[in-house]
Amino acid sequence: MDLSVLSRKRVFQPLRRLAPRFRRGLSEYRIYAYLALLGPGIISATSGNEVSGIATYSSAGAEYGYTLLWTFIPMTIFFLVAQEMCVRMGVVTGQGLADLIREQFGVRWTALVMFALLIANTGIIIAEFVGIAQASELFNIPRYVAVPLAAGLIWWLVVRGTPRMVERIFLLMSLVFVTYVISAFLSKPDWAMVGRGTITPAFSTDSGYLFTVVALIGTTITPFMQVYVQSSVVEKGLEPEDLTMARADAGIGVLFANLVAFFIVVSTAATLHVAGVRLETAADAARSLAPVVGEYATYLFAVGLFGAAMLAMGVLPLATAYSVSEALGFEKGLSRSFREAPIFLGIFTALIVIGAVTALIPGIPQIRLLLMTQCINGVLLPVLLGAIVLLANNREIMGEYRNRLAHNLFAISTTVIVSALSLLLIGKTIADMF
């Protein structure tokens, strides 16, 4: 036998035996790499299903049944596009969204956007603490005990914990949303009607219908999510070579969050809409399930409400603190101490205190307040999306990672459609007044 052939056999046969092990090791490495990057996208997207979101989805299902399920298809596409652009900008530029807006559009434009975001976020933060109060009372725990304990726990976790610990606990909190999927199946919906409502668009010029559609968009693609996901990617220190994994994280988060929201609408449509129940508070959705589905579903819904509020209580003040600190050029980050980032941690602390104290005031109206807050987000979203699209197309800051034609088609479509819905809602509301 040729010696060269023999030598090649001696060299390559052991390598061939090692190849499957190498491929298996490479696959395991990829899994571990993804798990290491996992976090910002999933936390950002699922935090949108907070108390105000649950109230909005529950109200939509109770009021309009399955007829609004079709909105989740375009909303999911729009949400994916928005999150992907912010993740890409964070990875490529190493800067948060408010930071880029300030640099590229000036202080006045930034101040206007951040002021609107601060108002909307403060309203939602208050709603989260009201949700904690209502969820705890479903388990016969007084709000005067539950709210201060929850506020103290979230404050301690974020201010005293490490960034890695905060992210892991937020990810664990995201798992609580599975309870809504279970509740939907317990409600035994008409799946044929669910399918029909999902694939058959239904339109109406009724101001209530338009209000609910804009509120759904506002709570599904909430501006604070774009701020949080980009700042979290920057905080995590991701590089351009991590972009594929970061996109996967964002995509999984969007799909999971919207699937949960879809099932909230299904469960309330199957029970509350059929029974003609109208909601006054987010907790009414949980209470109203008991006569139809049973106490088990009620407690599942209540657990989901509590967990959603806890997650958003951490994410929303953080997103607000990130945006204001970036806009004003102050130090920020979970790894910073009060001495290093007093404005960042001071804003976070102040929002926690405001939310907790306000939630302890009895008789706080919720459903209309929450829908109005989400509608403000729906009106604010086109402004923020416009800035995101311009930034993502900026060759100077994005280089080869700037938007391509497909990105722009979806991004501009999102901005135009949301803007049109918002203007239609405002016009219809004014017309109805006269």
DSSP letter string over 291-336?
A: HHH-HHHHHHHHHHHHHHHHHHHHHHHHHHHHHHHHHHT----TT-
CA dist., res. 263 & res. 60, Å (int):
12
* R_g over Cα of the chain: 23
In a domain, 403, yes or no: yes
* Cα three-residue angle 69-71-77, rounded to 5 degrees: 125
> Could you tell me the sign of the dihedral formed by the alpha carbons of 54, 56, 58, 60, in that order?
negative
In the chain, the amino acid numbered 250 is A
Question: Token pair for residue 211?
Answer: 């209000």
- Find out whether 339 and 93 touch, Cβ atoms under 8 Å: no
In a domain, 1, yes or no: no
In a domain, 300, yes or no: yes
In a domain, 23, yes or no: no
Q: Which domain holds residue 400?
A: 51-433
Residue carrying the six token digits 């034609």: 405
In a domain, 37, yes or no: no
Q: Which CATH number do you get for residue 348?
A: 1.20.1740.10
* Cα three-residue angle 104-107-111, rounded to 5 degrees: 115
In a domain, 92, yes or no: yes
Residues 6+ apart with CB under 8 A from 215: 56, 60, 371, 374, 375, 378
Profile the chain (434 residues) by mean pLDDT over runs of 10 residues: 43 46 44 49 71 80 90 88 90 88 84 79 81 80 89 86 73 74 82 91 79 77 82 82 85 88 88 71 62 62 77 81 82 77 88 88 64 66 84 90 86 79 65 60
Between the alpha carbon of residue 153 and those of residues 147, 159, 167, 236, 308, the distances in Å are: 10, 10, 15, 23, 15
- Find out whether 306 and 130 touch, Cβ atoms under 8 Å: no
What pLDDT was estimated at residue 19? 46
In the chain, the amino acid numbered 23 is R
Nearest to 311 by CA among 154, 88, 78: 154
In a domain, 323, yes or no: yes
Q: Residue 133 CB: number of other CB atoms within 10 A?
A: 26
First-residue to last-residue Cα distance in the chain: 99
CA dist., res. 226 & res. 232, Å (int):
10
CA dist., res. 149 & res. 162, Å (int):
20
Number of domains in the chain: 1
Q: Could you say which DSSP state residue 57 is in?
A: H
CA dist., res. 203 & res. 219, Å (int):
20
What pLDDT was estimated at residue 164? 73
What pLDDT was estimated at residue 296? 64
In a domain, 132, yes or no: yes
In the chain, the amino acid numbered 118 is L
CA dist., res. 43 & res. 136, Å (int):
23
What pLDDT was estimated at residue 364? 65
Task: Provide the H-helix boundaries in 334-366.
Answer: 342-359
